[in-house]
Amino acid sequence: MFRKIPPLEVVESVLRSLKLSGLSDKRWFSKEDLPLNTLEDWLPLVEPFYLPCKAERYLHGTLTHQRLITILRHLLKQHNIELKVQERMMNGHKTTLYQVFYDHVDPIVRFD
């Protein structure tokens, strides 16, 4: 999927461009909450890390909310960050909600 793993700073920047406060943001959001017009802000940061054939498939062409969620999943998965999914009924419609779950624990090294 990637030539090399995108740094965590790139992932944070993409999340901020999508109106999330970063990895520490615990809010639930729907894909409709993510702005599609921010592509120009974060695409140049992400594209060099994708393999050319995958960049053509996922990054070029019409950006939809579902494609945006897929790209977000790709980036988060590289750092073992989970994108939680939950379906809820809102105003009589089933809505899919997402949450970035970053359970960062510093490893403890013990010398016994």
Tell me: the pLDDT tens digits for 54-103? 999 998 888 889 999 999 999 999 998 999 999 999 888 899 999 999 87
- The domain total for the chain is 1
Closest listed residue to residue 69, CA positions, set 27, 34, 21, 107: 34
Q: How far apart are CA 53 and CA 101, in angstroms?
A: 29
The confidence band for 104, taking pLDDT boundaries of 50, 70 and 90, is low
Instruction: For residue 81, give the CATH number of its domain.
Output: 1.10.10
Residue 111 belongs to some domain of the structure? no
Q: In 1-112, where do the E strands start and end? A: 29-30, 82-90, 93-101
Per the domain annotation, does 109 fall within a domain? Answer: no
Domain enclosing residue 78, as ranges: 8-101
Q: Tell me whether residue 48 is in a domain.
A: yes
- Segment 8-56, tens digit of pLDDT: 999 999 999 999 988 888 999 999 899 988 888 898 899 999 999 999 9
Structural domain contains residue 24: yes
Whether pLDDT at 108 is above 70: no
Asked, for residue 62, whether it belongs to a domain, the answer is yes
